Amino acid sequence: MNLNERKLQILQAIISDFIRSAEPVGSRTLSRKYEMGISPATIRNEMADLEEMGFLTHPYTSAGRVPSTKAYRLYVDDLMERHELEEKEKTQIRNKLNAKILELDKTVEHAAKLLSELTNLTSFAVTPGKHEDFLKYVNIMPVDADTVVLVLVSESGKVSNTALKLKVPCRNEQLELLSKVMTYNYKGKKLSDILTMDIIRSFESDIAAMSKLAESIMPRFMITLENMLDTELYLDGLMNIFTIPEYNDIEKAKLFLEMVNQKRFTDVLVNRDNGVIITIGDENSEEIMRDCSLITATYKINGKLIGRLGVIGPTRMRYNHVTSVIEYMTQHLNEAFETGGKEDE
């Protein structure tokens, strides 16, 4: 049995209808709503075929048909028409994301918020892991007799800092010298490399002369560096789950909210392939996500560091609209982070 034109047409109609209504689609409804010149009985025959082929299921004997993962996959890959965003949506994206391009993390947070507003789904955005980022600058500034602030700046413009009290008071020149030595030693090195032992050890011997000072500072230097490496996850639109019929059940809503709050969930996001990736229902590797579809895309900072952006929702989602929104947003982010990433105003 093969998928002829008419079967595809019926399948497409069922998917569209179900995405809109969240109700199983019956043959009668279908023939009434989409005038395709064939009777319900004929549609029923075709439906039976489509079910046998694995594209449809029905929840109980005499309910309408519901698309399967396989159907959504076919739809996403072949059937789905490209959805052109409304001008209103486009300007909204441009405006909201341009306003705050000054601060990378804020921009990413805004992106997540905007994405959930435009899709009415739960969205997330992950800042790039800094493993491909390089250290640019180390400075230890005196504040008090025994208080200093340690500031690290990376190539991509991330600034990380900490205030700490010294066990031994020290002169400003010592701090300056140490800053310079550290900058000299670490500049241009990968952040993640600096965290490995041997670099540290060799350096520690270099500065044995001022070891007391360095001893105070090194542990915190490492912690601050680690903080710099962390990705940040922004979730938004969590409450949208309550407007989705699939989650009208308290138990399901609870499970969903607990899932996206798990550390596990973050890991899944970070480990996804690049580009726009759609995983549908049981295509997801994690058991707990089998009821959901996930659409993610990547954006780049200076064409290099990679962050992610996406939505999670029921398998029944407006794939074409969501995809268009995400594509437009990541494209915009890429451009924004490329040229004017750190430009002022």
Partner DNA sequence: GGTTAGCACTCACCTTAATAGAGTGCTAAC
Partner DNA sequence: GTTAGCACTCTATTAAGGTGAGTGCTAACC
Among 33, 39, 193, 201, binds DNA (CB under 7 A): 39
Q: Which residues, at least 6 apart from 231, have a Cβ–Cβ distance to it below 8 Å?
A: 126, 127, 128, 129, 130, 266, 270, 307
Q: How far from 253 is each of 22, 88, 238, 322, CA to CA, in Å?
A: 16, 31, 10, 21
Nearest residue (CB) to DNA, 41 versus 255: 41
Nearest residue (CB) to DNA, 39 versus 331: 39
Among 34, 137, 203, 328, binds a copy of itself (CB under 8 A): 137
Among 26, 67, 307, 313, binds DNA (CB under 7 A): 26
**Contact mark string toward a copy of itself, 86..105, x via CB under 8 A:** ----------------xx--
Among 12, 16, 55, 64, binds DNA (CB under 7 A): 64
Instruction: Please tell me whether residue 129 adopts helix, strand or coil conformation.
Output: coil
Q: How many CA atoms, within 13 angstroms, populate the side-chain half-sphere of residue 14?
A: 30
Among 27, 107, 160, 293, binds DNA (CB under 7 A): 27
Name the DSSP class of 251. H
Among 38, 153, 181, 218, binds a copy of itself (CB under 8 A): 153
Q: Per DSSP, what are the bridge partners of residue 311?
A: 123, 295
Q: State which of positions 218-237 bind a copy of itself (CB under 8 A).
A: 219-220
Does residue 164 bind a copy of itself (CB under 8 A)?
yes
What number of residues does the chain have?
345
Among 161, 192, 302, 334, binds a copy of itself (CB under 8 A): 161
Q: How far from 308 is each of 87, 105, 197, 264, 297, CA to CA, in Å?
A: 24, 12, 30, 16, 6
Does residue 177 bind a copy of itself (CB under 8 A)?
no
Name the DSSP class of 269. H
User: Do residues 107 and 232 make contact, with C-beta atoms less than 8 angstroms apart?
Assistant: no
**Interface contacts to a copy of itself, rule CB under 8 A:** 102-103, 136-137, 139, 141, 143-144, 147, 149, 151, 153, 157, 159, 161-167, 216, 219-220, 238-239, 242, 248-250, 253-254, 257-258, 261, 342-345
